[in-house]
Each structure stands twice: as structure tokens, then as C-alpha cells.
Structure 1
Amino acid sequence: MPVSIPRVLFTLLFFVPVLSWGQSLPSGSGPVQSFERYRQQALQEKLFVHTDQAFYLTGETMWFKIYYVDGSRHQPLDVSKVTYVELLDKEKKSVLQTKVALNPDGGNGNLFLPSSLSSGNYLLRAYTSWMKNFNADFFFEKTLTVVNPFKPLGLPLLRETTDYDVQLFPEGGNLVQGLPGKVAFKVADASGRGVAVQGWLVSGQNDTLTRFNSHKFGIGTFTLTPDEKMYRVVFRDRQGRTVTRPLPTVYPQGYTMRLDESSADQLTLTVRTNVPGASSVLLFAHTRNDIKVAEARPIQRETTFSIDKKKLGEGISHLTIFNADGKPVCERLYFKRPTQPLDISLKPNQPSYASRTKVTLDASVATAAQGRQAGLSMAVYRVDSLAETSSGNLLSYLWMTSDLQGRIESPDYYLQPGNEGVAQATDNLMLTYGWRRFRWEDVLNSPSPGKKQLKRLFTPEHNGLLIQGTVTDSLTGKPVPNIITYLSSVGKPIRLYVSRSDSSGRIRFEMQDFYGARNIVVQTNPKDSIYKIAITNPFSGTFSSTRLPALSVAESQTDQLLNRSVAMQVQATYWGDRVINYQYPPVDSSAFYGKPGESYLLDVYTRFPRMEEVLREYILGVMPRKKQGRFRLYVPNEPYRAIFEDPSLALLDGVPVFDMDKIIEFSPLKVKQIDVITNQFFIGPSLFPGVISFMTYKGDLAGFPLDARLLKLDYDGLQLQREFYSPRYDTPRQLSSRQPDGRTLLYWNPNLKTDAQGKGRAEFYTSDQTGTYVVEVNGLTTDGQAGSQRTLFEVKNSPK
């Protein structure tokens, strides 16, 4: 009988030692080792992006903070050093892209939303190079709304429809004739929001067998013991509109499972079957790849497993039942609410403020007693019917959203302190969503110790940005191995990288301190002119199955849109020159070869009209020679007082030049400095007999005629850090200034650190925009405790 869950290899039973019935699996046995090998070879990374808001106008800037953790234990990682961030439209076309540096505290950046964007819902996604080895469902995703106030909205006409998205999920995977089962359902509208419904289960003879109602977010359950194959489920919304769907297939033979909360500390898992000859079943449970339960029991018609909740990890656990043949026959999810999330408290010094007034906001976390400081990100923005959606909750994402397939409505609801209604809604959710971060085949097929490790196409960027490409034969298009390639970053400081193509023709350059938009030149030695180099787009070309809901803006929101649009334009007009301020990271400004053996500033010397005269007259470390009518440049082999037999590597602004006649003909008046390395020099896989580096005044090649066969292109490096600007009103003159302040985003801080007592403070000033403002904070400790918190305050007009 087919089962609608991932197929598990028969190999599993060979990993399980012979057990007496009810005996747990020993901790040192095969599955545990297999899981640990898989964890080491297939590290699961998680990213969470806290944006300052969830609603924007074009012309505004989106600010964001990136949290980067281990997917199993949620502890901060320091493996990948680059995050790729994209904004996708409804056609899954990338409209904005950037690369953000990661460090042990995560990363942060911004995206300016240009007026070329159309109004609509967009998908923000983020991932690392390593995450591209896995399904795009592993990427962080978040829906954002962008409205362009300078273009007609072009919204489609909303029609009354009963074409709801209705899904039915038998507990465990299947319905089996004669075996009692539970069926979960979810009814959602076109935007993905749950619809409250009543329902009826109708037999093939049109008899009503049971009635039921949705519980929360259009999700609910009903039970039945099927004795025929044809059933219908009828749903009716509050407006009286109905929709009918057939019940999932009822199989004549198979297995079912039922999970119940037998007590506050125990779960009861009941497995039933009508398969002739069924002898045993195995329960295998894990929480984010950590094995928690492995227990075998005999079965004839029914058997029961008792599961101690303490054995299951916090968050989502995956429960799978295998039959005696090692095949998966049932599975479902169970959620255990985190008992000790990071407790964040927020306390404004006043409940309301006048415009242009200082706000002092104290934030504290409750983990300071254990010596665990937290890193917080904080946004303060005006909330109204446009921006009523939360900008993101780190706690619910890590523990729930990131481990489920599909969009979850209001995930924060399920992490409330437990009560019967929340517990029922949470269990219903677990029945209607599928696990997305685990494949048995990957785990059980992971290589044993001593065998070749799994080969991944994309490697983690451990030390910074990787620029990758391929070398192919320009005639056949086939990849060419073992070819030396050179990449130069034109400009200052001088950077040169060397890579040898592998067996698949791939080349890889590990860039150091590569920030901002740069010009790069990639080439091979001209003697390899039949080879073609292509640089690979580092952004992923695969996409998740997420569907964006249609944009919905009500006529009643017109005034608020106008108000915010005017405020945005005021800011751009009066404050535009102050809000764009970048922080340049501390980088090594010296050339890649460090301190040269000889260095010459040509302006200090007599200027000659030809480069040959310059080299012969006072550049001691360079010996120009002619061979077969063409110039070659040699360097003395210090300290042996001999000349290298082979020509040295010549560079102009970091770009290798292989035709010395072009160097000789180049005007020395355009060259500011010449450095000479008078010994052997290693760069990557290559050894050069000395280096001669010519540097122009601006580092822009000064019109030097490069070889037409090389590849020259603009390439965006890591995003430069931009400072968030917030004006101050410390003096009476500033307070009485007639320059308007239209900020609706009052404060953004991606790196608010708490002290040893767990306290942090934010200070900022209100603007001229009155209304209700929300303070949203996310935070993470070094040991993986996550938390989120919100609070509100009012801004009113200043008294006259």
C-alpha cells in the first residue's frame, strides 16, 4: 500500500540490533552513529532575517538583521561568512540582490526600494552558499508588501468566490478500511488565511455521518472508521457558501496511528493494522536529527507505545512507524513548546511622548544570572492598518516555522503559554503540515568512517566571498581541467588571485576584504587562448513552492497611504544627504604581496618619456631583455645575486600582463609607483620568479590596452555597512527648527548588546509623525536561547 510520506530504506533494520519487545535502542548502536555522521557531513544551517518592518513604500529603505544558527541546536554558528539576500516578485524573478558579511554575531544590511518596483507582495529570501546544496525550502523566506505611490496599484477586481484551498490529512498518512482514524483539514482563502467553517462528513448514500467545526485558522479535525471507499466532506463558511471535497483514498489494508496526551508527562501512540501476518512495528522518533526514541513492539491488530515527553526535544519531533519489512507505514509530527525561551522585557520611560521628544527605552533579558549575554535587534516604527503585520519573530521561526513545509498563519500564537485551546490548535497544525528538513535516504546513505565524504557542489564560504566560474574549450564547450587562471580586482588595494581548474573545469577564487561594487578581470595565459572563462552567478536559481498572496489594499487605507507617502518624500527632500552614510570596514590597505623588496615613487626621479628608459636607469630590480624581437622582464634572484631564468610576473594595477611590449610602450607618466619582489613568490597553486607591479595614479589601468580575450566585468562584493540616521533634538534651536521630520521608522539597531547584568538601553527622538508606535525586539544568546518581545507607546502633537 502506498504511503504519503518520505520512503525509508530497508537498511534501517540492519542498523537496529535485536531487541526484546519494548526495549529501547542502545545509545551506541548504528543509527546513532549514522545520525552523527550525517550531522557532521550535512550541517543544517538556519537563517532568520529580522526586517525593520513588513510594509514599505518605494523610496524607503529596508533594514535587516541576520541571525545565523545551527539547524539542530539553534546555537550561533561561525562557519559561513556570506549570506545572499534577494527580493523576489510574484514571478519568482529577483528584483533586488545583495551579499552580506556574516560574523559570530550574524550580519546586517539594507536594501533601498527603487521606484521601478511595482506595488505587490514580494518574497524576501536569504541563504548561504552551503544551503544551495539542499532544497530551496531550507532558505529563509518572508512575505513583504511594497506599494509604489507613484504608480496605479492595478489591483485585480476581488470577486466573491468559494474556490477555497481545502486540504485533508489523515493522521499517520492514510485511511484504512475498518480501522478508526482521525482526519485533519485546513480551509484557506486565496491569500492563504484560514477560513472559519462548519463541516459534514457524507457517505456515498448521502447520509451525514458526523458534524464538526474548524478550531483555529481554518484548521480542525474529525474522526471516522471507514467501511467504504466513497466519502465526501462538505464545508460551509460564515456567509453560507459551501465547498465539497472527496475524502482521501481509503485503503483495504494498512496501518494507522493515533497520538494522544495521556497525561502531563506522557504521550500514548496507538498503532493499528489489518495486514495479515503483521508481526512487529518499530517506533523511531527524532527531534531535528537527534534520535530520541527507537523502540520495537509486537503487533497483531493493535499495539501501544508510551512516550515520556521528557525524552523528546523541544520544538518539532518526527515520529515514524516501520513495519517488520523495514518500510515506513505511518508518521506524524509532535510539537513540544520551549520551556525556557529568552525572556526579554521592554520598558519605555513614558507611556506617551510629544513630537521631537527623547525616548529612553530599557531592554533587559533574564539570563544574566547565568552569565549569558544576549545580542538584540530592535526596530521602532509607526503601526497602523498599513503596517499591522509583525516584522518577524525569531522564537517562532526557529522552533516551528523553519521546520515545517508551507506558510503558517500567525506562528506566534502556538508559542503562547499552554492552555487547552492552544494545545489543540498546535496538534491540529502538526497534522496539517509536513516536515521539510529531513530525508531518511540522506541519513542512512551517509558514508561510514574511512569512506569518501559526500561531495557537495557548493562549499561553505569559510573565509569570505568566493567567486566561482568554469573554464571550457571554446570550440567544443567541454570543461577543461588543470588550467591556471588569474582574477584581479582593479583598484586599490591591489589584489590578485590564482586558481587551477579542477576535473570539472571549475575555478574558485577566495576573495579577502572584497566590499562594494568592483571591477574584476579574469584571464588565462594568452597561450591558452582557446579556452573560455565564465563566472558563475552566485545567487541560487532554484525556488521554493511558496506562492505569494495577491496584494490587498482597501479604499479606507488611501489617506494613510497618502500620509506615509508625503512623509517619505519629505524625508528624501530634506534629509536625503544625511541619511546615506557608510561605514568602511577596516581592511589591509597594502598590496597582496605585502612589503616589496624594492619600491619606487616615480615622481621622485627624473621623468623619462619611455618605460624602457625608466627601467634601465633607476629600477635596479628589473632587467629588460629582448629575445626574438620581443621584450621580457627579469628580476634578480635575491639573495643569490643571480637573474631568474624565466621572466617575472608583470602586473598593472594588479592585472597580469603577459605582453611586455605593451608595458614598454605604456606611458611612464601614467605610472605612480613600481614595486619589485626580488624572490620567488607563491600565489595559490602558482610559483612566480619575482613580481613587477606597476601602479597608476588612480588604480584604474589609465587606458592600458588589455587583451581582448580576457573577461572584464562589474562585480558586487559584500555590502558596505550603512549607518542608520536619526536626528537629535537636544537644543532649543534644534527643537524649534522648521525643517520637517517625517520619519515613521524612529529607530533601528541590529546590534544592541546587553551588559553583564543583562541590560541594554536605546535612546532616540520622536518625529513630527503622531500615532501609535511599536517596539519590536528579537534576541539570541550564545547558547541558543531565542526570544522576541513587543511593546507600544504613543506620540502626540507637542503642546503649543
Structure 2
Amino acid sequence: MMPKKILLATPLALLALATPQAAAGQTAPLDSLDGLTGKLLRYEQRSPHEKLFLHLDRPVYLSGETLWFKVYAADGTHARPLALSSVAYVEVLDADRQPVLQTKVALQQGTGQGTLVLPTALAAGGYTVRAYTSWMKNFSPDAYFHRSITVINTQAASGASARDSAAAYDAQFFPEGGHLVRGLRSRVAFKITDKAGRGTAAEGRVLNQRGAVVATFKTQRFGMGHFDFTPAPGPDTYTATVTLGPKRVLTQPLPVAAEQGYVIRLDDTGADELTLTVKTSSPQPEPLALLAHSRQQVALAAKQMLVNGQAVFTFKKSALLDGVSHLTLFNADRKPLCERLYFRAPQQLLALTAQADKPQYGVRNKVSVQVAAPAPAASLSMAVYRLDSLTTAPGLGIDRYLWLTSELQGTVENPDYYFTATGPEAAEATDNLLLTQGWSRFKWEDVLAAPKPFEFLPEPYGPVIQAQVLQAGTRQPRAGINVFLSSPSRIVDLSVAASNAQGVVWFEPNRFSGPREIILQTDAGQDSTSQLTLLSPFSTRYAAGARPAFGLTPRFQNDYAKRHFQAQVQNAFGSQYRNRYASGRVDSLAFFGKPDETYLLDKFTRFKVMEEVLREYVPGVVVRIRKDGFHLLVTDRTNRTLLTENPMVLLDGMPVFNINKIMAFNPLKVRKLDVLDGRYFHGPAVYNGIVSFTTYKGDLEGFPLDPHVLVQEYEGVQHQREFYAPRYDTPEAAKSRLPDLRNLLYWNPDINLTGSTAKTLDFYTGDQAGRYLVVLQGLATNGLAGSRSFVLDVKPAL
């Protein structure tokens, strides 16, 4: 007999659901459901879901131009700004998924901003900008932020379109729930894409081994669709032939059908009702559990007994959470059997408003845009760029990303459609999208397994620098070795860490920004056989996906030439403004705080021998000469004793373990000498006082380094470049003869709004008439995200 349909309850913590009635009687107890919800909750608590969104200033660039961006870090569960990480890693990948540019950006309170200067030699092509944090590296690279851009090299145009052939197209087939089972009718979704990953129109047939047609299909929106199909019992295999046009046919085998298993089917059965039907090839009664979860939050949970090979779950759409929901079916052993996705458009978005003060503008006119966002507080960014034949692709809104595209695999074509379109066609297109591009950030095996330590930790206080200590010759990891990290500077900063069982050390240096020279070393007196290797912080895993679209079009040659001319003019007359950086506060205090003694050597008689300097001016340091040479002993003034071992001696922040070398150093190169009296505990190390020498330039002044020291260029978080745009607020400025052919009129990543108070943003048009797109993105502290865009018309001068 068929079991009755059940209506699911909606509490978030479902510890004791009422057992539903079925025609065959009471269903068997299924205690594993409570365990599933609890384990998912614990997994969410120990593995916060972090998402990044990048607002890029525009979609198309010329090589040599600057790419501006703002980073939004959000809690993937509630979409609120998340301050878990203080560093975002941003890369530009080529069509082969190899990085051509990499940078680190500082994050504060969930936002950050940065730039990437595209090299003039960068080949024309389609590229991908991706971003992630250290914490996100623990999960699939599909969860990283990805955005396609186009780069045009007008000085060396290349990159013609690939040959137009069936081999450049792809067809994929996805049984609903994940499996085909012989003898059971299934819904099979499909997606047909071109070489650039865009959906394309096609139709096709499904053939069995004997060539008989068992199903037909035809694409709907964006190259997707579905058909019903029942694999016959026996060893039959099935092949789909896809017709893309005249003399263009693609052949693709269907997934192999299993002899035994489960299939599910989700149907829209009412204005606010969904029905999930489960079928299996086994007639044995079996308890099942259904869990509906979204962003690691449980919305629905139910038990049901499988009777005569079928079970039916019915529930309200309104009971599901906003965004993409995962409907996962489990057996009594907590094994996931099938999964199905459903999208519920968010009920509330950030209602951004933006309005220009005029319907149109002339060249070199002032533009005032008033923006507002009804939220307690919101962080926004705004770009204004020129629309032409090369810049037509719509941008990705932060709300579309957080609620839909970040939860799916691959690139979603025209995500706006799924938020704005209504009616049966839109519902069917959304269903096809979820059937073909489903993805889960986590694996249920990880949720149900015993907790394991994560490989990558968050970076709440700045970039973490990692290195590995290996035994020279054998390349075996060495544990328990103290490694010192320094970067020569007038600001004394030293980090020390002990290697773990894998020989890895972690450093969290302060004030680490811009390109720097770093020095890694061990104490040669205690360890002289170790080899140090600096580890890259960038991820080496890449999401699978279509190559970014690109192909030079002959009919756009005039546009390429025009953009080339504009870029040359801007480089000639505006290059002096390209590398302006915002000034920031610099904390000049040494890592050990305020020293007990400070000596500015220019205030004393200068000696040419370091021994004389220490003996004459520094009573807190005692110089001793033994068989192996010089030793320095610091007076512990607190305990009124003389420490018996050498102190930590620093030169511009770099440890010097050979006292003879520092005593041979020319004191005329030293500007300042600091002494810390008494023992100092620094991570795993203990220093018998600190003696710190600082040169005039903070660059070691030619001090000879030990051979085993590792010296390497390393880039911290990037300095913040200022966006420059000319202002024509005086008659003289408006009449300037300097040409202004900017395509990017305005970029502001730091717009902060509070409550309903509006803010007015001013900028000036250039010398190019045309249509300009204003793009506004924003995220509020309460988790509401929104985007807004409109067009400005600039008329030529009369």
C-alpha cells in the first residue's frame, strides 16, 4: 500500500520528531535523525563558513591598466560581514588555470580593497580572478570566489577564436538525486555548453545498445533541460546524440545505471507545497530520514518508512530557508543516499538607492550621485565605467553571489534571471540549474566522522608566514628547531617559532606590508645542519570549469584601435598619478617594547671600535673575552645579577649569533643602540637580555651573513593605492588642454552608510561622450546584501 504524505515540522533543533502514520502502521523508530542534526550543528560550529565577494571595477581591461577591487568577507551561514580573517589572497589565472598575478590584501571588519596592475606584456585572453582566505583552503576550491574578465593587448593583438567544431562543445547529463537505477523511472537533467561554457541550443535522442530511441530532449533556457527515462533491466547501456546544428553532432554516454539503489523526484505540487518521492528497487521495508539544510542550518527533518519500494515526503516551500537548500536522504545507518537542491529566493535584500542629480551631462561636468541603504550600517563600493562594444557583459551582484551562485558549481549564466523572472518557465529554468550545477561545500563523511584538526588556520592578525625545516642531505623534517624570522628595518621586529613534527613553522609578524626582504635562520651554535624552505601561502588547488571565453572579433578592430589610443594618451598624461599610495600610521616601537637603555651614538664621542663603544657608554652590557672570542653579558637589574650567557644580539632586527662578527662591525654605521635588561621570553625562546643595534638606513650596511641563512624577497599585504581622477571645479581646470580619455571615471571602495542617512558622491566626466554604467554593491551589518546599477549619458561638447 502507498504510505500517506506527511507534513514536516520546522524547528531548527529537531530532537524528537513525532512519528508519522503510514498505511502499513507505525513507522519504525529512527534515532539516527537526531544524531544527524546534532552532528551538522557541531560541524557548523567548528568550521565557520566563510565567503568572499570581489567587486571589480569593470569586466574588460587593456594590458597595462589597473584592476581595482573591493573584498567583502561574509559569514556563509547568515551572510553577515565576517571578521574571521585579516588577509585575502587574490589571483589572476590564465586559461590553463596558472596564476599570472598574485597579491595579498588586508581585511578589516570584513572588508578590504586592493589593486592589480596588469603587465603590458600580458597576452590577450580570458582570465579568471579568484579570491580566498587561509581558512577557505581547508575546503574545496569550488568555494573560492571566481570571476571571469577579459584582457585585450592592443599592442600585440592575439588570441583568435578556437575552431568551430563539435569537439569544442560539451554535453553533461545528471540523474536527479545522483543515480540511475534499472527499472526505476528517473528525471535526467542535461546541460549543453559551447567552448566558452555558455549554454547553447540543441536537441537530441537517447539510444540503447540496439540503436532504438528510448527518449528525446530539447534545450530550454541557457542550454539546459530535462527528460524522463527508465533504464531497462539487464546490461543495456545508453548513449545520447546531441544535434547542435547542420552537420554538427555530439555523442555522449549516459551515466551507467545501477542494478539496485534509490531514485528521488521533487515536484511542485501546490502554491506552497513540494513533494519528494523516493523509490527503490528493493521491496523490503526500510526507515528513511530526510534532512533539509541550507548553509549548514537545518530547516526540516523527518522520518518515514519505505513501504513497497516507495515513500513520499510533503512539505511547505515557506518552511525552507532562503537561498539554496539541500534535501538529503539518509538510511538508518546515516549513509546519505540521494541529494536534491531547491532554491528559494531571499525574502529581503538590501534596498540600495542611487540617483544622479541630472538626466544627462556634458564633458568635464560635475556628477553628484546620492546613495542610501536602509540598514543599521552598510559598507558599499561604487564604480563608473564607459560602455562600448567591448564592455557589454553584466556584472555579478553581491546578493546574487551570496544567495545563489556561490552555492553552485561552475559559472551561472545570467544569475539575475533567477531572482527577477517569474512564472512556470522561470521555475523550470531554476530547477534545471539546480539539477545540473549542484554542489556541496562539505562532505557528509566529514560531518559524521570524528573531528580532525584543520590543515590551515585562520589569519586573524595578519599574514602568516610558513617555512619548513629539513635535514640537509636527507630532506627529512626536523622537529623542535627554533627558527627566527626578521626583515631588516629601522623598526625592530623579530619572530621566533619552533618546528612541528612535519618541520613546519608559523610566524605572525607585525606590520608586514609591501615587498620586503626577509631573513630566516636558526641559531648556528645549536643547529648548523638544517635547511630552510619558505612555503607559498597561495592555494595550489583549482576548481574545474570551462576556459574563460575570449576571441578577437574583426568587426571590433576600430574599437581595439580606439581603446589603444585612449590608453596611450592616459599613460602619457596621467602616469604620474598611477602610483599614489595612502599614507598609514607606522608603529615604530620594537617587538620587545620600550628598552631599558637607549643610546643615540651621535650624541657621544664616536669610536671606531665596537668594543670601545660598549665599554665606554653602555654600563648595562659587560664585554668579556674568552678563548672563542668576544662574549656580551647583560646586567639583570631587577635581580641585581649578571646573566651568564650571551644576550640576543640584533642588527636592524636580524639576530646575530656570532658575537665576534658584531664586535668587528663598524660602529660608525650604527645610529642607535637599545638594551633590554633582564631575561625576555619570546615564544619558545628565552633571551638573556637583548642588545639591539640599528643602522642609519636599517639595511644592515653590508653586514656579512652566515652561509646557512635564507634570504628571500617576500610580499606582505599590499599598500593601498589611491584612485586618482581629475577635478574640473575651477574655470582654469575646465579649460586645461590636457586630454582626459578615461574609461573608468570613478572608483570608491570605501563608502560607509548609517541608517537612512544618504551620502552624496561627486566626480567629473572626462572628454569622452557616451554611456557610462554606475555600479553599486553593498553589504549591511545585519546580513542584507544588495546591488544597483544605472546608466549616465554624457553628450559631446557643442
Q: What TM-score results when the alignment is normalised by the length of structure 1?
A: 0.93
* Aligned-partner residue type, residue 774 of structure 1: L
Q: Which secondary structure state, in structure 2, belongs to the residue aligned with residue 733 of structure 1?
A: helix
Please, which of 431, 438, 442 is the counterpart of residue 442 of structure 2? 438
How do residues 648-687 of structure 1 correspond to structure 2 at under 5 angstroms? 648-687=647-686
Alignment partners' CA distance in 1, 2:729 and 2:30:
67
Give the one of 340, 343, 346 matched to 1:338. 346
Instruction: Point out the more displaced range, 506-515 or 543-552.
Output: 543-552
Partner of 1:385: 389
Aligned pair 1:765/2:764, yes or no? yes
Aligned mate of 1:80, from 85, 89, 96 = 85
Partner of 1:138: 143
Distance 2:231 2:757 in 1: 57
Call closer, same or farther: CA 1:26–1:574 in 2, change over 3 Å: farther
- 1:179 correspondence with 2:179: no
Aligned with 1:503 (options 490, 501, 504): 501
What percent identity do the matched residue pairs reach? 43
| Residues 25 and 295, structure 1, Cα contact 8 Å, conserved in 2 | no
Q: Which amino acid counterpart does residue 347 of structure 2 have in structure 1?
A: T
Counterparts of 1:282 and 1:29 in 2: how far apart (Å)?
10
1:279 maps to what in 2? Answer: 286
The range that moved more, 46-55 or 496-505, is 496-505
Alpha-carbon offset, residue 208 of structure 1: 5.3
Q: TM-score under structure 2 normalisation?
A: 0.93
Report what 1:194 is aligned to: 199
Query: Would you say the 8 A contact 1:490–1:519 is kept in 2?
Result: yes
Deviation at 1:168, TM superposition (A): 1.5
Partner residue, 2:315: 307
Asked if residue 318 in structure 1 is aligned to residue 314 in structure 2, the reply is no
Asked whether the 8 Å contact 1:278–1:324 carries over to 2, the reply is: no
Residues 1:536 and 2:540 are matched in the alignment:
no
Q: Secondary structure at 2:574's aligned position in 1?
A: helix
Residues 440 and 210 of structure 1: is their aligned pair in 2 closer, same or farther, counting only changes over 3 Å?
closer
**Partner AA of 2:648 in structure 1:** L
The C-alpha deviation readout for 1:440-470, integer Å capped at 9, x for no partner, is: 01111143xxxxxx21221111211111111
Q: Residue 523 of structure 1 corresponds to which residue in structure 2?
A: 521
C-alpha spacing 1:672/1:19, structure 2 compared with 1 (3 Å):
same
1:708 is aligned to 2:712: no
Q: What does residue 471 of structure 1 align with?
A: 469
1:390 Cα deviation from its structure 2 partner: 2.7
Aligned to 2:424: 420
Distance 1:656 1:69, change over 3 A: same
Does residue 267 in structure 1 map to residue 267 in structure 2?
Answer: no
Question: Which stretch of structure 1 is more off in the superposition, 388-397 or 259-268?
Answer: 388-397
- In 2, Cα distance between the equivalents of 1:325 and 1:503? 37
Q: Does the C-alpha gap of structure 1 residues 163 and 744 become closer, same or farther in structure 2, counting only changes over 3 Å? A: closer
Q: Is the 8 A contact 1:16 1:31 kept in 2?
A: no
How far did 1:713 drift? 1.2
State the 1:243 CA deviation: 3.4
- Residue 33 (1) aligns with residue 42 (2): no
The answer to whether the 8 Å contact 1:355/1:770 transfers is: yes
AA aligned to 1:279 is: E
Matched, 1:63 2:71: no
CA shift digits 1:541-560 (9 cap, x unpaired): 22121232352121111111
Alignment CA distance shift 1:182-1:693 (3 Å): same
Letter of the 1:441 partner, please give it: E
Q: Structure 2 vs 1, CA of residues 446 and 779 (structure 1 numbering), >3 Å: closer, same or farther?
A: farther
Distance 2:784 2:438 in 1: 25
Q: 1:324, CA displacement in angstroms? A: 5.0
Partner residue in 2 for 1:400: 404
C-alpha separation between the residues in 2 aligned to 1:244 and 1:548? 21
Tell me the equivalent position of 1:776: 775
Of 358, 371, 383, 2:366 maps to 358
Contact 2:36 2:334 in 1 (8 A): no
Q: How far is the alpha carbon of 1:517 from its aligned partner? A: 1.0
Q: Deviations 1:574-621 (Å, cap 9, x if unpaired)?
A: 111123211133231122222211111111111112111111112222
**SS of structure 1 residue aligned to 2:496:** strand
The count of aligned residue pairs is 775
Partner of 1:741: 740
2:140–2:441 CA contact under 8 A, matched in 1:
no
CA contact (8 A) 1:51 1:392 kept: no
What is the CA deviation profile of residues 248-306 of structure 1, one whole-angstrom value per residue up to 9, with x for unaligned ones? 43445432221111122111111223323243332222112112222122221332111
3-state DSSP of counterpart to 2:740: coil
- Give 1:173 shift: 2.2
Indicate the residue corresponding to 1:722 in structure 2: 721
Structure 1: state its 5+ residue gaps.
1-14, 448-453
Q: What per-residue deviation string (whole Å, max 9, x for no partner) do you get for residues 155-187 of structure 1?
A: 255334475211122222233344332221111
Out of 424-433 and 541-550, give the one that drifted further. Answer: 541-550
Alpha-carbon spacing, 1:176–1:704, altered in 2? closer, same or farther (3 Å) = closer
User: Aligned equivalents of 2:662 and 2:287: distance in 1?
Assistant: 81
SS at 1:262's partner residue?
Answer: strand
SS in 1 for 2:430: helix
404-413 vs 169-178, greater mean Cα deviation: 169-178
Aligned to 1:484: 482
Q: CA deviation at 1:239?
A: 5.2
Contact 1:162–1:241 (8 Å) recurs in 2: no
**Per-residue deviation at 1:19?**
4.4
Corresponding position of 2:223 = 218
Would the alpha carbon gap of residues 506 and 202 (structure 1) be closer, same or farther in structure 2, given more than 3 Å must change? closer
Q: What's the C-alpha RMSD, in Å, of the aligned pairs? A: 2.3
CA drift at 1:26: 9.4
* Cα contact 2:30–2:287 (8 A) shared by 1: no
Q: Which amino acid aligns with 1:79?
A: L
Q: How far does residue 476 in structure 1 lie from its aligned partner after superposition?
A: 2.4
Contact 2:130 2:145 in 1 (8 A): yes
Equivalent residues of 2:464, 2:509 under 8 A apart: yes
Which whole-Å deviations, capped at 9, do the CAs of 1:95-118 have from their partners, x for residues lacking one? 111111111141110000011211
Q: Counterparts of 1:104 and 1:132 in 2: how far apart (Å)?
A: 20
- Structure 1 residues 310 and 604, CA, compared in 2 at 3 Å: closer, same or farther? same
SS of the aligned residue for 1:217 comes to helix
Query: Which residue type is aligned with residue 165 of structure 1?
Result: D
Q: For 1:780 and 1:325, how far apart are their aligned partners in 2? A: 41
Corresponding residue number in structure 1 for 2:605: 606
Contact 1:34/1:446 (<8 A) preserved: no
The CA distance in 2 between the partners of 1:502 and 1:380, in whole Å, is 50
CA distance in 2, matches of 1:249, 1:628: 80
Q: 1:374 touches 1:758 (CA, 8 Å); kept in 2?
A: no
Report 1:631-650 matches (<5 A).
Answer: 631-650=630-649
The more displaced of 489-498 and 732-741 is 489-498
Is the contact made by 1:25 and 1:293 (CA closer than 8 Å) also made in structure 2? no
Give the stretch that moved more between structures: 707-716 or 277-286. Answer: 277-286
Shift in Å, 1:792:
0.7
> Secondary structure, in 3 states, of the residue corresponding to 1:196?
coil
| Aligned pair partner of 1:49 in 30, 54, 61 | 54
Question: Distance in 2 between the 1:615 and 1:301 partners?
Answer: 90
How far residue 539 of structure 1 moved from its aligned partner, in angstroms, is 1.0
